[in-house]
Structure 1
């Protein structure tokens, strides 16, 4: 692989300095609630990022996007604090939604919906997942229950969505629904009285503003001009978004895991037990050594997958490999950090316990590890059949 351009390291260094010096002190801010940081806190941090020149750093002033390999370097640094991606505007779902709109939206749609996201003035939500108890779309999007019907110059959408990250407080929505042609995507302004938050769910993670909501969509009317792409092509567009989005999650949580390792390492070198520092006990030192190995292997997997995406490949198989392996590796890192720190590791005195919770959730969203392994096993079978035809 060719070396990554130097511009990425310059941007990443600025992002890291900003996160460490300006954003980490916000980690104890009471506006970081159990359902995610408040919009007041998000906008305050983004104002700081704008002043520092690190807001939406992966999208350049001319509108061009860093390569995936360059983006990986920048997003890993923004993830050194759970609040860093929010402050720098590199957080899900906005980062993935910006990528999708940049690829699929019309110029008019970009001006209206993408512009406020890139500037950090608005948040967005991606309405795809549906309640499992109603047998709706989850890891299998073909089970989509939400419908859209053409009515003159409008589409009328009805359905229920669940685990919709950031819906509460978002200004831009991307809604997936099923027409006679197949899956469709629509852009809509939020809030809208036809999109009703039933409840915000209590979940293990709390890094994303607005939390994760159950939402009813009742007779939502969307002009045909706000359909994203073509009717029936929604699953294709979903893959445009999801393959790099899975990798972006890997990038951000790699940063959080790196920070947890820093904290655990500091603790192990300062804490004394049985006449010596914890780091000098093999049981502890070996856990930190294993963390270094997992972090480096995860970094290499991210870089490899990013390089594949940069060739123009859809990268579906590669992103499944990265998502499954990196999420599990980073969870091992976070788990060992908690273990190294003992009682302190399960308190809110540091971000280590939050890293553990957030990365545990990461193993499920954007496809559980088992779904990605199932996808990979199907490829193995296809390849075997092709080789033995």
Structure 2
């Protein structure tokens, strides 16, 4: 199947670069370009693309306004092409909250910084977006009866307990949903989300604004504290280690694992080996198989593990592989995952 892409950017140079980059592989074809959202609106109807790439800063209507209207009226998979700035990172995270599937960092004006790597990453994100179910999720949200989710009142746990979460495509919003239901007496939370440098610090800051937890970008040898969450820095692996009886973050830049850095497999494997049955973990939406091997290590060590269910995941890739390989005890919609983790922690508390 050929993936039809509409490129939306006000820069003629960027439109040319994106078109040339996307057309490099035979399974992707750019069917058109647009220089602003007004032009894009007409071409979406005319060309019926499978995926859009979208800039944020554009004339007539900015990308966020266009995205908001698009996801409400005619939902399509969108990959944001974002600038590597603090403002750009904040706007990109807002775009993901509005319904964009993923993002890539825009190459600089002089095209330095590895156009080949950028292109490979962009094509990977477009393929993942084409597999996502934005239409199905939009229809489900509009037609499904409202289910009342009762957040846990407490997640107080025995000393040494830990929550581990891993995600990729669609994970920014899924992680926000899970963390927003955790109470501030919960055990430490460690998070691996596939995200490049320059964005993870803002991602942690955004989670810190909208949850009860203290959320930070993880630092090397930082002690893990209850009521705190630690996000793996972009382009670094996050592991958990025990030093002098204290659980700590370990940040390294060794080789990619499962094609990623940070890798969910790396994090989950360390949690399984170091924390064992005192851990609980969740694997959320994402393309590929990263996390399945590490989650199996966790489950074999006695940890409770849960995967995001198919009808809830934007991309049912990572949770599917984890389920098929026997790495998860349970599957649940994203809105229920915090409750499942809380119940598992309660069992630990009663057993202690």
TM over 0.5: no
Higher fraction of strand: 2
The structure richer in helix per residue is 1
Work out which structure has the larger RCO, using CA pairs closer than 8 Å and 6 or more positions apart in sequence. 1
TM-score, normalised with respect to structure 2: 0.29
Return the TM-score normalized by structure 1.
Answer: 0.27
Larger C-alpha radius of gyration, 1 or 2?
Answer: 1
